[in-house]
Amino acid sequence: MPSLRSIRSRIKSVKNTRQITKAMEMVASAKMKKAQKRVLDARPYAEKIRELLHRIATLEKAWPNPYFEVRPVETIGIVLVSTDRGLCGPINSNLIRTLSRFMKERPDVKFEFVTIGRKGRDFVRRAGLPLTGVIQGVKDKGGIAEILPASQVVVQEFAEKRNWQEVWVFYTQFVSIMTQKPQFEKLLPIDPQSLAGHAIAGATGDYLYEPDRRDILDVLIPRYFETIIFHRVLENFASEYSARMMAMKNATANAKEVIYGLTLTYNKLRQANITKEISEISSGAEAINQG
């Protein structure tokens, strides 16, 4: 039987934990709203650049551009977007599971990684897979400059050294506060089909270009996949915060239950102790009376 005092101190510590999880829940919910807003803020640019790229790419079919070129796949580069911190439910482990399945389905292909976020890096290290680039400590308020090193690695490995024949992004999609889905998509080579459906309404014919259509394409293409990576990172933040919010909500509810149970045990024990003491006193008195 635990002592009264030990139960009391446990109740106190669980209460403290509840306070912390409650606070973390509220912080996560505020941050999630901001992250969602940032995803929305970045959307018009992404749509516009898709539209432009589609238009120019279809006009420029004859030109062999490395970013559109489909090559036989030996090595796939993976941009793995995960969270820096834990306590955010199962989103990272779900993502890693999806990634492992993806890799198992392609047994003849080598994989190399660029990780954004500490959890993904930890996984790649533990699995002993080649790590080409690491970004950590991206701030949720940070600008696109923070993820540019990742896109530089992609340019280098895919277009300049031609080590990678495909590049995929893995991240956690924000569906709703309750649901976050591990997701992946092919970043490069750019599939002209995926750009379709973004044709410009009301504009026909070609543009005047200054300086040259290809120069403009050279600027647009890196911006295009930078924007996608940036978008995925923002979305991952929204997922992280909503997952953390839910995890902390559950933890708070659990703490409440534990406190309830402990308080019950505490009161029962206290009552038992009082009863015991009374019976001791009364039986003591009885003994004196009889004596």
Partner 1 sequence: MGFILSLMTQEQHLFTEEVDFLQAKGVDGEFGVLKGHAPFLTLLDVGEFLIRKGSIDLSYFVAGGVIEVLPDRVTVLADTIERAEEIDGTRAEEARKNAFEALKQPITEESRITFQQVLKREGVRLKILERRRHHSPVPFGEE
Measure the CA–CA gap between 164 and 155, rounded to whole angstroms.
10
Query: Mapping DSSP to helix (H, G, I), strand (E, B) and coil, where does residue 31 land?
Result: helix
Full DSSP string of 243-258:
HHHHHHHHHHHHHHHH
**Among residues 69, 185, 215, 280, which is the contact residue for partner 1, using CB under 8 A?**
215
Q: Helix 4-59 vs helix 213-290: angle between axes, to the nearest 10 degrees? A: 170
**Among residues 11, 27, 220, 258, which is the contact residue for partner 1, using CB under 8 A?**
220
Contact between 227 and partner 1 by CB under 8 A: the answer reads: yes
- Classify residue 112 as left (phi > 0), alpha (psi -120 to 50) or beta: beta
Contact between 45 and partner 1 by CB under 8 A: the answer reads: yes
Both tokens of residue 94? 């779900």
Rank residues 63 and 207 by Cβ distance to partner 1 and give the closer one.
207
Both tokens of residue 282? 């009364």
Interacting positions 24-43 with partner 1 (CB under 8 A) = 38, 41-43
Residue 220 near residue 55 (C-beta atoms within 8 A): no
Contact between 208 and partner 1 by CB under 8 A: the answer reads: yes
166 sits in which H/E element? strand 166-174
Q: Helix 118-127 vs helix 91-104: angle between axes, to the nearest 10 degrees? A: 40
Both tokens of residue 272? 């038992």
Chain centroid offset of residue 211 CA? 40
**Among residues 87, 216, 258, 259, which is the contact residue for partner 1, using CB under 8 A?**
216
Rank residues 66 and 142 by Cβ distance to partner 1 and give the closer one.
142
User: Closest distance between partner 1 and the C-beta of residue 204, in Å?
Assistant: 9
Rank residues 211 and 291 by Cβ distance to partner 1 and give the closer one.
211
Site string for partner 1, 230-269 (x = CB under 8 A): x---------------------------------------
User: Closest distance between partner 1 and the C-beta of residue 226, in Å?
Assistant: 7
User: Closest distance between partner 1 and the C-beta of residue 238, in Å?
Assistant: 15
**Among residues 10, 15, 110, 223, which is the contact residue for partner 1, using CB under 8 A?**
223
Rank residues 11 and 220 by Cβ distance to partner 1 and give the closer one.
220
Measure the CA–CA gap between 237 and 242, rounded to whole angstroms.
9
Dihedral sign for Cα atoms in the order 198, 200, 205, 206:
negative
Contact between 18 and partner 1 by CB under 8 A: the answer reads: no
Considering CB under 8 A, how many residues would be counted as binding partner 1? 30
The number of residues making up the chain comes to: 291
* Residue that is written with structure tokens 């995960």 in the block: 82
**Among residues 14, 49, 88, 187, which is the contact residue for partner 1, using CB under 8 A?**
49
Rank residues 184 and 230 by Cβ distance to partner 1 and give the closer one.
230
Interface ranges with partner 1 (CB under 8 A): 38, 41-45, 48-49, 52, 56, 143-144, 202-203, 205-211, 213, 215-216, 219-220, 223, 226-227, 230
